[in-house]
Amino acid sequence: MPKKVLFFLGHFFQFPSDIIFFVFLPVIILYSWMRYFYKKIFHLKPNLMISPLGEPYLFFLVKAARIKGLKADLIAYTSTSYFKSLNEGFIINDHFVSKYFFYLTDYLSIFAWACVKYDIFELPFSGGLLMMSHLRKLELILLKICAKKVVIFGYGSDIMLFEKIRKSHKYNVTMDLEQNEERKYDQKKIKKDIYRAQKYVDVLIASGYLTYLGSKAIMVPIAIELTGWDYSPKKKSKIVTIVHSTNHSVFKGTRFIMKVVEKLQKKGFPIKLIFIKGKSLETCQKLYRKADIVITDVITGWYGFTACEAMALGRPVICYLREDLARANNLVQNIPIISANPDNLEKAIIKLSKDYGLRKKLAKDGQNFVLRYHSLNRLAEIKTIIYQRIWDNQKINQKILIKLIKTKATQCVE
């Protein structure tokens, strides 16, 4: 369908869609509150909807929720080719009818349907099912008046406040952003999105370097699906293969990694670099298996999915870990990663390349670490506690969460 025609139709149907939605809104509100009290009285579990981004964290979150018996669904607009192979959730733009129907109704149709079906909504700061609607700023208010519990997660760029990040450390995720690239990240909009979330939602979920979200913020470790990432440590080889994978090189310090590797190669050091970008899940898995060392990120200050996947395979990882972030992310302990930033990256590569015994130890420690802290079962345990607390209208923060996890662990031992 031509874009001009679609644009015209979208604006033509926008006003009627608004009228229909607000006419039926009182019915939706009444039904939602009746549904909430019915479920509370009969001790029924809430239904969970994750939306609307096809990001890895969300696919795994749905699986984790289902482990604990929750009815959880992912509804996303799009998904990367890397994660489409996971076959979890409904991708709107992959279906012709839904793609244009929801657009022509300003996404109010799918939002109303979701309010009828789900009880807890987990959304990014940039918006949920009304992300692209002209009513996006009302979404959190509408959810609250419909008796919905709301969790907001930060996946990265949607809560990147440059001023705070730049003040945090010498090396940071914004340091390689050029001025024209910075304009892509509307700081005023991001600040307003964060403010609305802090005001209206029940919990803010953060990870990594995103530690400035306030009292409602909880730092939750990411989780990965371990299928396909079977432990298979690399045997010793004459040439050490380093793998660096990223689709966002300016956020990972890729230029520093390439510079150091080229410098060592000119000195005759027996290493080679495999750079992965825009590959499928299967291709990435094959390339990771060729690695003796995986370098993920040398400027952000924390580790992510790539590091977890590499450790699950039994590959030693180099990644920059800031001490202050390690204290904030206190749900993980004794991280078996060699921490390096541009100042000491060369020394880290030389040390790990020469010491096969250290690589072997990190491989085993890494696998155990991922199984303990980054499995779907671990995420399911943490998120179930959070969901139950907000469903029961009880307070939840980082200290309370840690206390509840420790209590549960003690009870299991007893």
Domain ranges of the chain: 3-153, 240-373
Question: What does residue 292 show for φ and ψ, rounded to 5 degrees?
Answer: -95, -30
CATH of 240-373, one of 1.20.1430.10, 3.40.50.620, 3.10.20.30, 3.40.50.2000: 3.40.50.2000
pLDDT at site 80: 66
Q: Give how far Cα 122 sits from Cα of 62, 148, 149, 379, Å.
A: 10, 10, 9, 15
At 188-212, the pLDDT tens digits run 998 999 999 999 999 998 777 777 7
At 152-176, the pLDDT tens digits run 988 677 788 888 888 878 898 888 8
- Peptide bond preceding 52: is omega within 30 degrees of 0, i.e. cis? yes
- Report yes or no: 335 and 321 within 8 Å, Cβ to Cβ: yes
Please tell me the distance from the alpha carbon of residue 259 to that of residue 249, in angstroms, as a whole number: 13
At 101-129, the pLDDT tens digits run 888 888 999 999 999 999 999 999 888 99
pLDDT at site 411: 57
> Of 9-13, 261-265, 288-292, 384-388, which gets the smallest average pLDDT?
9-13
Give 169's Cβ-side CA count (13 Å radius).
19
pLDDT at site 6: 44
Closest by alpha carbon to 114, among 11, 202, 13, 21?
21
pLDDT at site 413: 46
pLDDT at position 9 over 80: no
Mean pLDDT calculated for residue range 316-345: 92
Residues 6+ apart with CB under 8 A from 172: 165, 166, 209, 299, 300, 301
pLDDT at position 65 over 50: yes
pLDDT at position 412 over 70: no
**In sequence order, what DSSP letters do the residues of 229-279 get, joined into one string?**
----PPPP-SSEEEEEE-S-HHHHTHHHHHHHHHHHHHTT-SEEEEEE-S-
- Report yes or no: 398 and 385 within 8 Å, Cβ to Cβ: no
Kindly report the pTM of this predicted structure: 0.86
pLDDT at position 5 over 80: no
Q: Which structure tokens are listed for 279?
A: 């590959």
Please tell me the distance from the alpha carbon of residue 177 to that of residue 180, in angstroms, as a whole number: 8
Residues 6+ apart with CB under 8 A from 75: 49, 50, 51, 52, 89, 90, 92, 110, 114, 129
Closest by alpha carbon to 102, among 76, 126, 121, 74?
76
Instruction: Pick 281 or 85 by higher pLDDT.
Output: 281
What percent of the chain is modeled with pLDDT above 70? Answer: 91
* Phi-psi category of residue 89: left, alpha or beta, with phi > 0 → left and psi -120 to 50 → alpha: left
What percent of the chain is modeled with pLDDT above 90? Answer: 48
Buried b (16+ CB within 10 A) or exposed e, 60-81: bbbbbbbbbebebbbbbbebee
- Report yes or no: 154 and 213 within 8 Å, Cβ to Cβ: yes
At 72-82, the pLDDT tens digits run 998 888 876 65
pLDDT at site 152: 93
3-state secondary structure of 48: strand
Instruction: Name the band, by pLDDT with cuts 50, 70 and 90, for residue 12.
Output: very low
> Of 22-26, 208-212, 280-284, which gets the smallest average pLDDT?
208-212
Number of residues that this document lists for the chain: 414
**In sequence order, what DSSP letters do the residues of 70-98 get, joined into one string?**
-EEEEEES-B-HHHHTT--SEEGGGSHHH
pLDDT at site 337: 97
Please tell me the distance from the alpha carbon of residue 364 to that of residue 372, in angstroms, as a whole number: 12
Residue 242 burial by Cβ neighbours in a 10 Å radius (0-12, 13-18, 19+): buried
- The Cα angle at residue 285 between residues 283 and 287, in degrees rounded to 5: 70
Residues 6+ apart with CB under 8 A from 66: 72
Average pLDDT, the chain: 86
